Amino acid sequence: MTTYRDAGVDIDAQDRALAQVKKMVRNTYTDDVLSDQGAFGGLFRMPIKGLKEPVLVASADGVGTKLKVAIASGRHTSVGRDLVHHCINDILVQGARPLFFLDYLATGRLDPDVVTDVIGGVAAACGEHGLALLGGETAEMPGFYGDGEYDLAGFIVGVVDRKRIVDGSAVCHGDVLVGLPSSGLHTNGYSLARRVFFEQLALGPQDSVEELGRTVADELLEVHRCYLEPVRPLLDECLVHAMAHITGGGITDNLPRVLPEGLRAVIKVGAWEIPPVFRLLAEKGQVPEDDMWRTFNLGVGMILVVPPKQLEKVLRSLRESGYPGFPMGNVVEGERGVEYDHPPEGYPTGLR
């Protein structure tokens, strides 16, 4: 006789894990959640108060190979927060307010403690930013993932009034680019970062790095910053023409996504201090500067495109929110893309 458990799937372990997270999930429920836990689908009442023409905005993403660092270090609480914050930022740039979230966790052999840590991080981030963790799926897939391995994905739905959609159509020549600081690598560039730290430098997750003043795991597991709270007031007052979340592809690939044809961005290299982790990756890994710009955020997690007359108001609002921004360039006429305006020869760019 062969049971499902003999084949590698332990339903009882899954039930034990889910029992631990149910209370955390329920704490994220808003008044618009109409279903209870255990339903085949989550029910959510569309909030339309104050919206003349509500438009749903949806996105899906993952955490990438940052999960490898979490698994190697045995620290699983932060990746759930990374996932939620990344997804919130992705719909925020179109002006959306997040409503609810769904998660998907797949693993080789289910460890209840790991599941509790990961989903607990998802639930905590949802609760902090006012969206309901409406449902999800936990899949045990022996033979597909190795023991101790897991993958994580998230799905978010938000809403914006159609007249308040931020799509970049208002961007014009002379607009100012305002950067918001990142909290490190966020969730992109980890395949290259892991190669430099773990292979080229032969470091382990718990090894300290003098240039960083912390361990490799502390640096690489820094939580992806969420920009909902500092940016929301700017959207309420219609102070920005466009926003770009700087994820995979860096500034080079992400900023043009919100620029109309005939306009390009000029980035003033040296307008902000590039954090030490990126300088270390560039120097120790001998990573070409072009690759650095296209792989990492280099200390800029989000870019706002702001009309010049609103610049001071935007900067003041960001300072008051505790997330000060910095002017980092302008929009000019030309072929759509990004141009890097480097300082005079011999002036340090922050990458060498």
For residue 239, give the CATH number of its domain.
3.90.650.10
197-213, pLDDT tens digit by residue?
A: 999 999 999 999 999 99
Give the C-alpha separation, 183 to 91, whole Å. 19
Q: Which two tokens stand for residue 211?
A: 């240039």
Same domain, yes or no, for 185 and 328? yes
Which of 164, 186, 210 lies at the terminal end of a domain, its last residue? 164
Which of 118, 140, 164 lies at the terminal end of a domain, its last residue? 164
> Among 79, 289, 42, which residue's Cα sits nearest to residue 187?
79
Same domain, yes or no, for 145 and 254? no
Give the C-alpha separation, 190 to 209, whole Å. 17
Tell whether 47 is covered by a domain.
Answer: yes
Same domain, yes or no, for 106 and 242? no
Same domain, yes or no, for 159 and 298? no
Side chain identity, residue 130? G
Under DSSP, the state recorded for 275 is P
Tell whether 281 is covered by a domain.
Answer: yes
**N residues, the chain:** 352
E strand or H helix at 67: helix 66-73
Give the domain CATH number at 54: 3.30.1330.10
pLDDT greater at residue 51 or residue 276: 276
> Among 127, 139, 98, 128, which residue's Cα sits nearest to residue 26?
127
What residue numbers bound the domain in which 57 lies? 11-164
**Domain count for the chain:** 2
Same domain, yes or no, for 180 and 308? yes
Flag whether the pTM goes above 0.75: yes
Same domain, yes or no, for 118 and 184? no
Q: Which two tokens stand for residue 28?
A: 């994220």
Tell whether 54 is covered by a domain.
Answer: yes
Which residues make Cβ contacts (< 8 Å) with residue 290, sequence separation at least 6? none
Task: Indicate whether 351 pLDDT > 80.
Answer: no
Tell whether 39 is covered by a domain.
Answer: yes
**β-strand partners of 332:** 264
Give the C-alpha separation, 352 to 349, whole Å. 7
Tell whether 352 is covered by a domain.
Answer: no
Angle at Cα 243 formed by Cα 237 and Cα 246, nearest 5°? Answer: 145
Tell whether 93 is covered by a domain.
Answer: yes
Q: How sure is the predictor about 350, in pLDDT bands with cuts at 50, 70 and 90?
A: low
Tell whether 306 is covered by a domain.
Answer: yes
Same domain, yes or no, for 142 and 97? yes
- Per-residue pLDDT at 21: 75
- Per-residue pLDDT at 347: 47
Average pLDDT value for the chain: 92
Same domain, yes or no, for 205 and 58? no
Give the C-alpha separation, 351 to 315, whole Å. 26
Same domain, yes or no, for 110 and 207? no
Which of 144, 164, 184 lies at the terminal end of a domain, its last residue? 164
107-166, pLDDT tens digit by residue?
A: 999 899 999 999 999 999 999 999 999 999 999 999 999 989 999 999 999 999 999 999
Q: Are 26 and 119 a contacting pair, CB within 8 Å?
A: no
Give the C-alpha separation, 155 to 287, whole Å. 33
Same domain, yes or no, for 140 and 261? no
Task: Indicate whether 4 pLDDT > 70.
Answer: no
Same domain, yes or no, for 159 and 183? no
Q: In what order do the strands lie in the sheet with 97-107?
A: 54-62, 150-161, 97-107, 132-140
Same domain, yes or no, for 255 and 156? no
Tell whether 351 is covered by a domain.
Answer: no
Q: Which two tokens stand for residue 216?
A: 């490799």
